[in-house]
Structure 1
Amino acid sequence: MAMTISTLLQYHQALALGFSQQWQQRQAWQVAGQALLGREVAGWHIERQQQSVGIGCVLERITVTGSQQRSASLAQLNCH
């Protein structure tokens, strides 16, 4: 009985850790999306890169890194 309870507790801890990491990564993607829209989010390091890729087109790449070392990168092509 004790062995079963111990195993279930370890399983529960692993699930909780996985959900926490997934939530943190989801938050990183949301911050990256906000940064592409020009909105700054406190507590996140935001790196912007812009590259001309043709006449009137610019590729903008955003990489964000949070305090939990979660990061996400998004790119957007803007043509005028």
Structure 2
Amino acid sequence: MGDVPGTDEISQKGFSLPEALIAAFLLSVSILGLLNYYQSLTYGFMRQWQVQQAWSEAHSQLEAYAATGRSHETVMKGWEYQLSEISAGQSCQRVNVVIRSPAKYQAILQRLICKSGG
């Protein structure tokens, strides 16, 4: 009478230790893959932003030089710029602007600026 009927047929529910370890491993590999993708995506966006900023700054430098005869000093921290003038005739100059981003992307623009004689 002390025997409980069906005790030898009790089935356990849940995961075994190897199954749980495999699931944890797959989850960690998936998370590492997503983090790597996020890092690549972030780097790509940063690089694209720097490219856009470099071209915008180069254009701005040329516009300032054409209007005032000198460049303006608004290049962001960590960025480098170089402006050079080359005589191209009696009243014309070829102005070159080189902007380098912190990621070493380089934007180069040139403009021919001629003073109208009156």
1:37 aligns with 2:53: no
The 1:45/1:5 distance shift into structure 2, 3 A limit, reads: closer
Q: Shift of residue 55 of structure 1?
A: 4.2
Structure-2 separation of matches of 1:20 and 1:64 = 16
Higher strand share: 1
Give the gaps of 5 or more residues in structure 1.
none
The amino acid that maps onto 2:89 is G
User: Which residues of 2 match residues 1-80 of structure 1 at below 5 A?
Assistant: 1-2=26-27, 3-38=29-64, 39-42=72-75, 43=77, 44-66=79-101, 68=102, 69-79=104-114, 80=116
Runs of 4+ in 1 over 6 A off after TM superposition: none
* TM-score relative to the length of structure 1: 0.74
**Structure 2 residue runs without a partner (length 5+):** 1-25, 65-71
Distance 1:12 1:45, change over 3 A: closer
Which one has a bigger Cα radius of gyration? 2
C-alpha displacement of 1:25: 2.1
The alignment's TM-score, normalised by the length of structure 2, stands at 0.54
In the comparison of the two structures, how many residue pairs are matched?
79
Specify the SS of the correspondent of 2:88. Answer: strand
Highest RCO, 1 vs 2 (Cα 8 Å, sep ≥ 6): 1
- What secondary structure sits across from 2:73 in the alignment? coil
